[in-house]
């Protein structure tokens, strides 16, 4: 710093000059903030420099804290290994891709069927083209998910809050109608049987070829079902079978599917014994699941459709 003294007739004035380096002033350097020209240098810094500062000081910190909070809240307490948790999330993503991609491709290939079958149904029987029925899906409340237990008015929030426990999430399954209109008006809810008299002539063909199941691809797109998984059952049967068939509720731990290991191994449910056999297949599928298992079941489904095995 140079100091120059200027004398005049009236006063003595001292002028200060400061040496500023040619390199741009950057964050992280110790610089005086008092001189006006230094503050001006800071104001003139580029937008990129400001972004780098705020990104390093604020944005990355906020993102890290948010990610840590989400991981703490969403990770199950029983997750003993982070690697297993990451692999499970990866497998879940693969299954979701298979569901959405398979359902979209299936609907695209099935466009001619959605034109021809409705016309045939209308020409051969009275009633709607599509048949919707309430089924039970995945049970997302099968275990306590809250890490912190909070009491409100003396009652624990972790207590089950459903008014009616359906043991899973109800949804409307969509199928091509294969039975006569109001087929269960007199008989009530009963299982389909071999040579069921309620099934129409066209309906027998649709069931044998599994064409009646194709509209369920819409349920897959909606997220109610998966391409592969245990078949969804009606609420009245779920409430009855959960007490009569061992491990029945295990099959509600995953999304129901259009096809599954039980479906390619056996036909339609017709008795408690057949349900118990199917449940054993479903439990085996759930405990040994992999994306390759789904691909093998889909391949076996093609064979079942072509041969008509297990239809009624």
- 98 close to 294: Cβ distance less than 8 angstroms: yes
Digit-coded pLDDT (tens) for 4-28: 544 445 455 545 554 555 555 555 5
Tens of pLDDT, residue by residue over 47-79, are 666 667 666 667 777 888 888 777 766 665 555
- Tell me the pTM: 0.64
Q: Say yes or no to pLDDT of 153 above 50.
A: no
**Span 172-200, mean pLDDT?**
74
User: What pLDDT does 152 receive?
Assistant: 39
Q: For the chain, what are the domain ranges?
A: 2-67, 84-307
Each residue's pLDDT tens digit, 73-96: 666 555 556 677 677 788 888 999
Does residue 2 have a pLDDT over 60?
no
| Residue-wise burial string across 6-40, b where 16 or more C-beta atoms lie within 10 A, e elsewhere | eeeeeeeeeeeeeeeeeeeeeeeeeeeeeeeeeee
Least confident segment among 102-116, 196-210, 244-258, 261-275? 261-275
């Amino acid at each position: 710093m140079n100091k120059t003294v200027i004398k005049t007739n009236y006063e003595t004035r001292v002028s200060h000059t400061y040496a500023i380096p040619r390199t741009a002033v950057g964050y992280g350097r110790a610089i005086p903030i008092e001189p006006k020209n230094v503050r001006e240098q800071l104001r003139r810094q580029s937008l990129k420099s400001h972004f780098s500062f705020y990104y390093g000081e604020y944005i990355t910190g906020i993102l890290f804290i948010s990610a840590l909070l989400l991981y703490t809240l969403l990770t199950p307490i029983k997750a003993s290994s982070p690697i297993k948790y990451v692999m499970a999330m990866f497998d879940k993503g693969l299954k979701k891709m298979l569901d959405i991609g398979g359902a979209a491709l299936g609907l695209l290939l099935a466009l001619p069927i959605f034109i021809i079958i409705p016309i045939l149904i209308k020409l051969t029987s009275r009633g709607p083209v599509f048949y919707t029925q309430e089924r039970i899906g995945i049970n997302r409340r099968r275990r306590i998910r809250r890490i912190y237990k909070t009491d409100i008015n003396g009652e624990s929030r972790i207590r089950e809050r459903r008014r009616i426990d359906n043991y899973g999430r109800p949804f409307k399954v969509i199928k091509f109608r294969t039975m006569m209109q109001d087929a269960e008006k007199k008989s009530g809810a009963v299982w389909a049987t071999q040579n069921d008299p309620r099934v129409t002539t066209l309906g027998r063909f649709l069931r044998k070829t599994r064409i009646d199941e194709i509209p369920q691809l819409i349920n897959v797109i909606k997220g109610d079902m998966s391409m592969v998984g245990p078949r969804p059952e009606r609420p009245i049967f779920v409430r009855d079978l959960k007490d009569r068939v061992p491990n029945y509720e295990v099959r509600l731990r995953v999304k129901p599917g259009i096809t599954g290991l039980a479906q390619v191994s056996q036909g339609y449910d017709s008795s408690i014994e057949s349900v118990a056999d199917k449940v054993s297949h479903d439990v085996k599928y759930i405990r040994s699941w992999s994306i390759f298992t789904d691909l093998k079941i889909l391949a076996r489904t093609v064979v079942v459709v072509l041969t008509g095995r297990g239809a009624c």
